[in-house]
A and B are shown apart, each in its own frame.
Chain A
C-alpha cells in the first residue's frame, strides 16, 4: 500500500519522531509506524489534533532529529497556522509533512487541493505517482529538508495512498536519536522584526530549491515522441499513460514530481515545438496555471486543461475520463471495447442502495434512539466528523449539520442564540479532544443553551480504532495517563454533566430529558465501547458473545425493532423476524425497544457460557 511505502521510506530515512492525527486516506502511514515504533526505537504519538502533531514534530526537528507528521488534507487546514510560520523559521533535522488528499470525497467532507498550501507557505512539495516513488521520494524529502532547513510537503491522493503495488526496499540509514535545542532568537522567535527578515530568507532558499526542481529527476520526460505534449503528475500520470496507450497516439509526457517550486524553464523547453499541450491533473488548475504562465512567451501553443473545460475541476480522474476527454478533443474514435456494451445504467436503476451504516450493536445507534425517544425529534442535531455521521441514514436520521471537526459545538451556539428549538451538538470522544473544547468553553462563557452529547466509544473508530487522550494508550502501545472527558467538561465550567451507558435505554433517555430542561449548556457523555472493538476483544480473550433472539410466539411482526433501530443483525426471512446470531453483539437494545418483550438473550447459549 502507498501508505505502507511511505512508512517504510521514513524508517529508511532514519525518522525518529512521528506524529499524526488519523484521517482517511492518511491513517495507515502512522498506524504502521505505531506498530513497529517500540521495537524500532521510534517515538510515535497520536496527537490531539493536526496542529499539535506538526508542532510536536517541529519541536523535535528543531533539535536536530528527523520528524514526520501525517494527516489528511483537511487536517492540514488545522495545522496550517503552524506550517506557514515554520516556513520562516525553518527546521534543523529533516521534517516532512504528508498531506493525503481525497479527490472524489471518498471519505471526506470536501475535496480541497492541498497543492495550494505549498504555494501559500512557499515550501517545497513532492507528489509521487506510485508506491515505489512514495517510498523512494520520502527518503529524498528528508535529505532535501535538512539541506535547505525547510519543512517539506509530501502530497498524496487516495489512489496513491490506498493503492497496492510492488515496492523494492532500500537500506535503513543510521538514525539520530538525541537532539539539542540551540537557541537562535532571530531565527526562531517570530516577532515582526525578525519575521520580516526570515520571510526574505525563505524566498532566497526557495530560489535555490527551484534550481533543483529545474534539474531534478523528479521532473522527468517519460515519453518523447509526436507533436502532442502532456504535463501531468501523481495519480493523473498513470491515467495519462494508459489513455495514450488506449488511443494509440504519439505523444510526449512530462511528469512533474516536484510541484513546488515549479520547474518553469523545464516546462517551457518541453512545450516548445508542440502544437498542442494537455495538462492532466485532478481538482484545481494548479499545474495548468503554471504551464500557461511558462508558455506565455511562446506564442501559439494551445493548452488544454480545466480552464478550457478539457477536464472537470471536481472529482477524481480515471483512465476512462482522460481517454474520453482526449478522444473528444483530438477527434479520435474511442476503441470499441472501451465503454461497456451492457445497459448497466438501466440495471443499476433497479438496485436497492447499500449505503454504509452503523455496525450491529453500535452504541451510537442506542444513543440516537434514546435521543429520538426522549427529545421527540423537536431538536436540531448538529453532528460532527466520525462514524456517528452515519446516523443520517434511515431510520435514525440524526444529523442536520456537518461541517468540520468540532464545528457542531460552535454552530450549535449560534443556532441556540437566534431560534427557540433545542440544539444538540454531537461529537465523538476523539473529536471532543481534537476541536470541541474551545467551542464548549465558548458555550459556558457566553451562556449558550446547547446540549453537547459526547459519544465515547474508547477509540477513534472510523479511521481504524486509534487511541486518543480518553483511552490513555500511547502511540507506542504503552499505558499512559487517561484524560477523563467529564473532568475536562467540568473544568470548562459546565455545571450540568451526566455520564450514561447508552445500552441502558431508560437511563439514557432520562439523562437526555434532564439535559434538555437545563437552562444553560449541558453535557451528556454516552460511554460504551465500540461494538467492533468489544467483539474483537471478547474473541481474543476467548469470551463468548451471547446473541439475542426473537421468541416467535410473542413476535407480532410489528417491526418496531427494525423501524426504530435499523440494526443489520435484525432481518426478515420469509415473513419472520430473525436476529442473525453471527453478527449480533448482544447489546440488548432491541430487547428494550420491543413492545411485546419478544426479544430475549439466547438462553441455551447464555447457560452454556456461564
Chain B
C-alpha cells in the first residue's frame, strides 16, 4: 500500500473525532505511520466538522490535499457534499444517508436539500459507494449515538482499508468507555453487515 487518505465529514456531536482516533490508533497497531488532523474550537455541537486520517509508511502533513482522498467517510450527507473537493471520481464514498437539517434550513434562510437529491449527486459522479441509513441501524444496535461506529463498520466491510477488522474492534475497545463497549461493538458489527449487504445488492 502506498498511502490511504480518509476524510471524515459530519456534524459536531456525531463523533467525527472519535472515529478518526479509532482509525488512527488501528493503523498504529498495524505498524503504519499516521497523521490525524482535527480542528475544533468554535462550538462543541451543531457545526460542520471535518477530520483527515492519513495512513502510510511515512506521512508528513496531517491534512489531505485536494482530490487525493481514497475514502470519504460521510457521517451526514450535506457534510459529505461540503468536502467533495478532497475526493476524485475514484474515491470510495461511504455515506450515511440520514440528513441532519442545518438551522439555516429550519429558519427558512437557506434552501432545503433532500437526502434523495444528495444520493443522486453521489451516484452521478462516483462508482464506488456504500450508502446506508446508519440511524436505523444505530437504533437497532441500541442508540442513535453510535451512527459513527455503524459507518466505521460499513467502511470495514469494503476491502479499501489497510487495516484488519479485528484491529478496528481492538481499537474500539481501547478508546470507548467500557460502559458503552457492547453497544459500540454491536453497532460496528451491524455496520459491517449492512455494508456487505449494500455491496452485494449492487453487484
Are A462 and B102 neighbours in the complex by a CB distance under 8 Å? no
Write out, one digit per residue, whether chain A residues 563-595 have a CB within 8 A of any chain B CB (1) or not (0): 100101011100000000010000000000000
Are A354 and B112 neighbours in the complex by a CB distance under 8 Å? no
Are A390 and B43 neighbours in the complex by a CB distance under 8 Å? yes
CB distance from A140 to the nearest CB of B (A): 22
Contacts of B104 in A (CB 8 A): 352-355, 394
Write out, one digit per residue, whether chain A residues 317-345 have a CB within 8 A of any chain B CB (1) or not (0): 01110010000000000000111111111
A585 to B86, CA, bound (A): 36
19 further contact pairs, Cβ within 8 A, besides A164-B35, A340-B66? A1-B38, A106-B42, A164-B37, A165-B34, A166-B33, A238-B61, A242-B61, A246-B65, A318-B63, A323-B65, A337-B67, A340-B67, A352-B111, A354-B47, A354-B79, A354-B102, A355-B48, A356-B43, A394-B107
Of the residues A341, A357, A358, A390, contact of B88 by C-beta under 8 Å: A341
CB distance from A84 to the nearest CB of B (A): 28
A166 to B46, CA, bound (A): 30
- Chain A, Cβ-Cβ closest to B17: A164
Of the residues B46, B61, B66, contact of A359 by C-beta under 8 Å: B46
Asked whether B45 is an interface residue with its Cβ less than 8 Å from the other chain, the reply is yes
Of the residues B39, B86, B101, contact of A106 by C-beta under 8 Å: B39
Are B78 and A354 neighbours in the complex by a CB distance under 8 Å? yes
Write out, one digit per residue, whether chain B residues 26-59 have a CB within 8 A of any chain A CB (1) or not (0): 0010000111111111111111100000000000
Write out, one digit per residue, whether chain A residues 98-111 have a CB within 8 A of any chain B CB (1) or not (0): 00000000110000
Are B113 and A351 neighbours in the complex by a CB distance under 8 Å? yes
Asked whether B1 is an interface residue with its Cβ less than 8 Å from the other chain, the reply is no
- Chain B, Cβ-Cβ closest to A334: B67
Given contacts A356-B47, A394-B109, contact A341 B102 (CB under 8 A): no
CB distance from B156 to the nearest CB of A (A): 20
Asked whether A432 is an interface residue with its Cβ less than 8 Å from the other chain, the reply is no
CB distance from B8 to the nearest CB of A (A): 13
A337 to B89, CA, bound (A): 10
Are B67 and A532 neighbours in the complex by a CB distance under 8 Å? no
Asked whether B160 is an interface residue with its Cβ less than 8 Å from the other chain, the reply is no
A566 to B107, CA, bound (A): 7
Are A462 and B41 neighbours in the complex by a CB distance under 8 Å? yes
Write out, one digit per residue, whether chain B residues 171-184 have a CB within 8 A of any chain A CB (1) or not (0): 00000000000000
* Interface segment, one of A155-163, A204-212, A259-267, A510-518: A155-163
Contacts of B62 in A (CB 8 A): 159, 163-165, 238
Asked whether B81 is an interface residue with its Cβ less than 8 Å from the other chain, the reply is yes
CB distance from A108 to the nearest CB of B (A): 8
Within 8 A of B (CB), among A18-76: 24-25
Asked whether B87 is an interface residue with its Cβ less than 8 Å from the other chain, the reply is yes
In the A-B complex, the 4 residue pairs with the closest CB atoms: A107-B41, A356-B43, A356-B47, A352-B110
A351 to B38, CA, bound (A): 23
Asked whether B103 is an interface residue with its Cβ less than 8 Å from the other chain, the reply is yes
Write out, one digit per residue, whether chain B residues 143-172 have a CB within 8 A of any chain A CB (1) or not (0): 010000000000000000000000000000
Are B42 and A356 neighbours in the complex by a CB distance under 8 Å? yes
Contacts of A343 in B (CB 8 A): 125
Of the residues A337, A344, A345, contact of B68 by C-beta under 8 Å: A337
CB distance from A145 to the nearest CB of B (A): 28
Asked whether A348 is an interface residue with its Cβ less than 8 Å from the other chain, the reply is yes
A532 to B12, CA, bound (A): 13
Given contacts A159-B63, A566-B103, contact A164 B47 (CB under 8 A): no
Asked whether A95 is an interface residue with its Cβ less than 8 Å from the other chain, the reply is no
Contacts of B85 in A (CB 8 A): 340, 342, 344-345, 348
Sampled A-B contacts (28; CB under 8 Å): A106-B39, A107-B41, A162-B37, A165-B35, A238-B62, A241-B60, A320-B66, A337-B90, A339-B67, A340-B66, A340-B67, A340-B84, A340-B86, A344-B84, A344-B87, A352-B78, A353-B102, A353-B104, A354-B11, A354-B47, A355-B48, A356-B46, A357-B47, A390-B42, A395-B107, A568-B46, A571-B106, A572-B106
- Chain B, Cβ-Cβ closest to A577: B106
Asked whether B197 is an interface residue with its Cβ less than 8 Å from the other chain, the reply is no
Are B105 and A352 neighbours in the complex by a CB distance under 8 Å? yes
A164 to B111, CA, bound (A): 36
Contacts of B20 in A (CB 8 A): 164
Contacts of B140 in A (CB 8 A): none
Within 8 A of B (CB), among A342-376: 342-345, 347-348, 350-360
- Chain B, Cβ-Cβ closest to A245: B60
Interface of chain A, helix or strand or loop or mixed? Answer: loop
A572 to B62, CA, bound (A): 38
Asked whether A221 is an interface residue with its Cβ less than 8 Å from the other chain, the reply is no
Contacts of B84 in A (CB 8 A): 340, 342, 344, 347-348
Write out, one digit per residue, whether chain A residues 235-264 have a CB within 8 A of any chain B CB (1) or not (0): 101110110001000000000000000000
Interchain Cβ contacts within 8 Å, total number: 172
Asked whether A562 is an interface residue with its Cβ less than 8 Å from the other chain, the reply is yes
Q: How large is the interface on B (under 10, 10 to 19, 20 to 34, 35 or more residues)?
A: 35 or more
Of the residues A238, A341, A571, contact of B89 by C-beta under 8 Å: A341
Q: How large is the interface on A (under 10, 10 to 19, 20 to 34, 35 or more residues)?
A: 35 or more
Of the residues B12, B45, B66, contact of A338 by C-beta under 8 Å: B66
Of the residues B61, B67, B109, contact of A341 by C-beta under 8 Å: B67
CB distance from A257 to the nearest CB of B (A): 15
Write out, one digit per residue, whether chain A residues 145-174 have a CB within 8 A of any chain B CB (1) or not (0): 000000000000011001111100000000
Are A359 and B45 neighbours in the complex by a CB distance under 8 Å? yes
Asked whether A473 is an interface residue with its Cβ less than 8 Å from the other chain, the reply is no
Asked whether A121 is an interface residue with its Cβ less than 8 Å from the other chain, the reply is no
A582 to B102, CA, bound (A): 17
CB distance from A438 to the nearest CB of B (A): 27
A343 to B34, CA, bound (A): 29
Are A158 and B39 neighbours in the complex by a CB distance under 8 Å? yes
- Chain B, Cβ-Cβ closest to A352: B110
- Chain A, Cβ-Cβ closest to B105: A352
Are B39 and A162 neighbours in the complex by a CB distance under 8 Å? yes
A183 to B39, CA, bound (A): 46
CB distance from A14 to the nearest CB of B (A): 28
CB distance from B1 to the nearest CB of A (A): 16
Asked whether A598 is an interface residue with its Cβ less than 8 Å from the other chain, the reply is no
CB distance from B78 to the nearest CB of A (A): 6
A163 to B62, CA, bound (A): 6
A571 to B104, CA, bound (A): 11
Are A338 and B68 neighbours in the complex by a CB distance under 8 Å? yes
Of the residues B46, B78, B101, contact of A351 by C-beta under 8 Å: B78
Among A163, A235, A241, A318, which residue has the most Cβ atoms of chain B within 10 A? A163
A359 to B44, CA, bound (A): 8
Are A338 and B35 neighbours in the complex by a CB distance under 8 Å? no
CB distance from B62 to the nearest CB of A (A): 4
CB distance from B104 to the nearest CB of A (A): 5
Are B42 and A338 neighbours in the complex by a CB distance under 8 Å? no
Contacts of B44 in A (CB 8 A): 359, 532
CB distance from B17 to the nearest CB of A (A): 9
Are B81 and A347 neighbours in the complex by a CB distance under 8 Å? yes
Contacts of A555 in B (CB 8 A): none
Given contacts A239-B61, A359-B46, A395-B107, contact A342 B113 (CB under 8 A): no
Are B65 and A351 neighbours in the complex by a CB distance under 8 Å? no
A532 to B43, CA, bound (A): 11
